[in-house]
Chains A and B, each alone.
Chain A
Amino acid sequence: DTAVSQTPKYLVTQMGNDKSIKCEQNLGHDTMYWYKQDSKKFLKIMFSYNNKELIINETVPNRFSPKSPDKAHLNLHINSLELGDSAVYFCASSQLSGGVSAFFGQGTRLTVV
């Protein structure tokens, strides 16, 4: 039983394509996140959703569009992929005000060629 699962694990695609990454959590958490980890391992938050509502939208190109159909799912759609989008994308979930650690998915390694 994976707590936070994201698919696919690997994604190789050409510049200009559109792709999606899916994320689901079965922990009953009310908050989900997308993080980007670059080649130097820096982790930067991209989006934060609480009960399907967007609450954090960091400086991210509008080619990135998150969608939360319900509080257990947070998908990430990326349009017109660029070389600089290559990174590992992590989905995570936590409980907003419970001092609960964030649980992370396995990551999606995106390579744009």
Chain B
Amino acid sequence: ELKVEQNPLFLSMQEGKNYTIYCNYSTTSDRLYWYRQDPGKSLESLFVLLSNGAVKQEGRLMASLDTKARLSTLHITAAVHDLSATYFCAVSSNTGNQFYFGTGTSLTVIP
């Protein structure tokens, strides 16, 4: 079974600071997804990364993918309170018939 690990599990950071969330996965895949989940809400798709070296940016968030290292990062720049949420990475199987989710990173941005 494909395993997906994120770290850290919990992250508390001050507004204005930068930080990176890491996502490691265990087998070959070139499809990596990042999601955001607010408390009591559904999962919202943030980024889709489909090739080695892919980089996507939206606002203060930037995601990248290194398929050789089986690593994706989600970088947060100059954090603001609105970014407080749980962030999940997910890897899809090569057949695409399921998504394996990481453990999630609960981010709290403190004013």
Residues in chain A within 8 A of chain B (CB atoms): 31, 33, 35, 41-45, 48, 50, 55-56, 90, 92, 94-107
Contact = CB atoms under 8 A, between A and B. Distances in A.
- Of B31, B99, B106, most A-chain CB atoms within 10 Å: B99
Interface in B42-100: 42-45, 48, 50, 86, 88, 90, 92, 95-100
Contact of A48 (B35, B45, B98): B98
Interface residues of B, number: 25
A42 B90 CA distance: 12
B25 interface: no
A74 B100 CA distance: 20
A31 B97 contact: yes
Given A99-B48, A102-B33, A31 B42 contact: no
Contacts of B106: 41
A86 to B, nearest CB: 15
A31 B104 contact: no
Contacts, number: 63
Given A43-B104, A90-B42, A94-B99, 15 more contacts: A31-B96, A33-B99, A41-B37, A41-B106, A42-B104, A48-B97, A48-B98, A90-B43, A96-B95, A97-B96, A98-B96, A99-B31, A99-B48, A101-B35, A102-B99
Nearest to A97: B96
B20 interface: no
Question: What 5 A-B pairs come out closest when comparing CB atoms?
Answer: A101-B45, A43-B101, A104-B43, A99-B50, A104-B42
Contacts of B37: 41
Contact of B86 (A41, A56, A94, A97): A41
Contacts of B45: 101-103
